[in-house]
Amino acid sequence: MDHDGPALRARGISKRFGDLVVVDALDLDVAVSEVVVMLGPSGSGKSTLLRCFNGLERLDAGIIEVGGVRLDPTCDTIHAVRAKVGMVFQQFNLFPHLNALDNVALAPRTVLKLPKEQALNQARERLERVGLSAKLDSYPAELSGGQQQRVAIARALAMDPQVMLFDEPTSALDPEMIGEVLAVMRDLAQSGMTMIVVSHEIGFAREVAHRVIFLDEGKILESGPPNQVLSAPRHPRAKEFFDKVL
């Protein structure tokens, strides 16, 4: 990345659904290699905010830049910019008609136009990175939840994103599978990936996050190092929430 600014910059972004303001004039800078964990009550706008960050939602106001390039859903370059922002969904959203290898290789082949062999080799490498070398030929329906989510992470990584977004990546998983997914995310963080993670896994936040953000009604109410935000939140809404969650 040949610019010195933040990996992701949001300025005054707002998103409404009808009369409901879901993201409210929000500012956020995420530095390169920074790991931000975002928490907040259900319905506070966390998913919508992530979806704004990769252009799945059209903004009502404000601007978003990824690596210094404006993300504009109305513009033809949206696909190119979006390809630089990886997204991991709560429900995995793997392509059920493709095996793990093809799930990972599809976008590099179609979007980046990589030659087949190169895309497949790269996909094998990404799947190895998430510990799934033995499952290249498996279809999503043949994989456990934890394995599916790791394929989904490998699929996003195959596009060499500058920023990775995670929307509650472990909340659809059985408890015994949460660890394997968090381990992959921890490795990713240690390798220097810029990450914005919506998750209520407090242990992960304490250990891996550089910054924890508390979101409520589309606004950032708390933002700071994990210890400060999680142990000594200043805002009463945040206190109330953490008392319930922790």
Ligand X SMILES: Nc1ncnc2c1ncn2[C@@H]1O[C@H](COP(=O)(O)OP(=O)(O)O)[C@@H](O)[C@H]1O
Q: Which is nearer to ligand X, 129 or 200 (CB)?
A: 200
DSSP per-residue letters across 87-151? EE-TT----TTS-HHHHHHHHHHHTS---HHHHHHHHHHHHHHTT-GGGTT--GGGS-HHHHHHH
19 in contact with ligand X (CB under 6 A): no
The strand ranges marked E within the chain are 8-17, 20-30, 35-39, 61-66, 69-70, 85-88, 163-167, 194-198, 211-216, 219-224
171 in contact with ligand X (CB under 6 A): no
170 in contact with ligand X (CB under 6 A): no
Q: At closest approach, how far in Å is the CB of 152 from ligand X? A: 18
Q: In this chain, which stretch among 41-49, 78-86, 171-179, 222-230 interacts with ligand X, using CB under 6 A?
A: 41-49
149 in contact with ligand X (CB under 6 A): no
Q: In this chain, which stretch among 42-50, 109-117, 134-142, 233-241 interacts with Mg ion, using CB under 5 A?
A: 42-50
240 in contact with ligand X (CB under 6 A): no
Strand 20-30 to 8-17 pairing? antiparallel
120 in contact with ligand X (CB under 6 A): no
Full strand arrangement of the beta sheet holding 219-224:
85-88, 163-167, 194-198, 35-39, 211-216, 219-224
Q: At closest approach, how far in Å is the CB of 82 from another protein? A: 5
Q: Which is nearer to ligand X, 46 or 135 (CB)?
A: 46
Binding residues for another protein, per CB under 8 A? 54-56, 79-80, 82-87, 89, 91, 93-97, 106-107, 110-111, 139-142, 152, 155-156, 159
